[in-house]
Amino acid sequence: MARQRCGMNPPQLSMTLVTFAAEDPGDWSHLIDRAVAADQAGLDRLALSDHVAFGTDLSAYADPAKGGIDGGRQPTGPDGLWLEPLTVVSYLMAVTSRIRFATNILLAALRRPIVLAKTAATIDVLSGSRLDLGVGVGWQAAEYEAAGLSFSTRGAQLDHTLAVCQQVWANERASFDDGQLAFTDLHQNPKPRGGGVPIWVSGTVNRRAMERLARFGVGWIPWGPDAADLTAAIPRMRHAVTELGGDGANVGVVGSLPTAYHEDGEIDGAATLEPVRRLVEAGVTDFRSNARFGATGEELTDQIGSFAAAFRAASA
């Protein structure tokens, strides 16, 4: 299938869109306000997270051996409210015109592959190809068990899901057989524009994740210690992907851009953007910001626009 050459594009600025809450906000209209403002302000992308359910034990979030991150803490507790990301993306695509939306990350294996392929293709067609699928294996066994899936084989299940999606996206008459699922001359239309929906693979520089990235991905979402040391991790990722038959030189890379604040609570733009040039040189192509602006309406658009303009100057 056709692949977007992320590594050849200018650095982009994304922001997280918080689609979860520890307590019921009563009204989710702030998501529309932020999406519209970001769209009008020239932001490149909004990123949404994913969980479909929670068990009562969330300790695995802090366990790297189970897919968590050392010292991590799930932000809402098991009774938090989490909106389904592809549904939110579909809703917000209708009130925006140019900004891209990304899942960061979608637990893709929890969805039936052929249905996920149809959903993503539909969003792509209706939005003018503004969807990026960031995918990963997750950290919580309870979600897999509730979906009737084995947590221990979640990596293989994710590979299976992505293989089915890319097969039906790329072929007018798709055939598939991986020992788990088989079909012949399957028709699913409309197809995503450009041959498929761009897939960004999350993980550390380990063989399984790098095989997945080489096979399916246009971009990498680093995790854990590799996300904390991108200067060292990116060359190792590029080498691994190339060794596994992928185009390591042109893989896009997400890099976190933590927000610094002044004592009065205002964003310290200079301090926030200080690492941008170094990270561009290291190979980061998509900077993911968690900046929060207190304004609304036109003032929010202006604030995001000013931040985006400062980022363009810092990354040039």
Q: Residue count of the chain, please give it.
A: 316
Average pLDDT, the chain: 95
Residue 5 pLDDT greater than 50, yes or no: no
According to the model, what pLDDT value does residue 79 have?
Answer: 96
What local confidence, expressed as pLDDT, does residue 8 receive? 56
69-77: list long-range contacts, CB under 8 Å, 24+ apart: 69/223, 69/224, 70/224, 70/225, 75/20, 75/22, 76/20, 76/21, 76/22, 77/22
Q: Is 161 left (phi over 0), alpha (psi -120 to 50) or beta?
A: alpha
Residue scoring higher pLDDT (264 or 109) = 109
Token reading at 277: 């040039």
d(CA 77, CA 260): 26
266: pLDDT strictly greater than 50: yes
For the chain, the domains span 6-253
Half-sphere exposure of residue 86: CA atoms within 13 angstroms, side-chain side: 19
Predicted TM-score (pTM) of this structure: 0.94
Give, in degrees to the nearest 5, the angle at Cα 311 between 308 and 312: 90
Statement: residue 227 has pLDDT above 80: yes
The distance in angstroms from the start CA to the end CA of the chain is 31
Indicate if the pLDDT at residue 279 is higher than 80. yes
DSSP-derived letter for residue 195 is: G
Question: Facing residues of 201 across strands?
Answer: 135, 220
Which CATH number applies to 6-253: 3.20.20.30, 3.40.640.10, 3.40.190.10, 3.30.590.20? 3.20.20.30
The alpha carbon dihedral of 35, 41, 42, 47 has a sign of negative
Q: Please give the Cα distance from 240 to 280 (Å, whole number).
A: 20
Tell whether omega for the bond before 105 is within 30 degrees of 0, i.e. cis. yes
State yes or no: pLDDT of 125 exceeds 90: yes
Pairing of the two strands 199-203 and 174-177: unpaired
What is the tens place of the pLDDT at every residue in 164-213? 999 999 999 999 999 999 999 999 999 999 899 999 999 999 999 999 99
CA dist 5 and 161 (Å) reads 23
d(CA 214, CA 241): 5
Q: Give the pLDDT band (50/70/90) at residue 3.
A: very low
Statement: residue 1 has pLDDT above 60: no
| Predicted local confidence at residue 6, as pLDDT | 52
pLDDT at 9 > cutoff 90 = no
DSSP state, residue 91: H
Instruction: Dump pLDDT digits (tens) for 49-99.
Output: 999 999 999 999 999 988 998 889 999 999 999 999 999 999 999 999 999
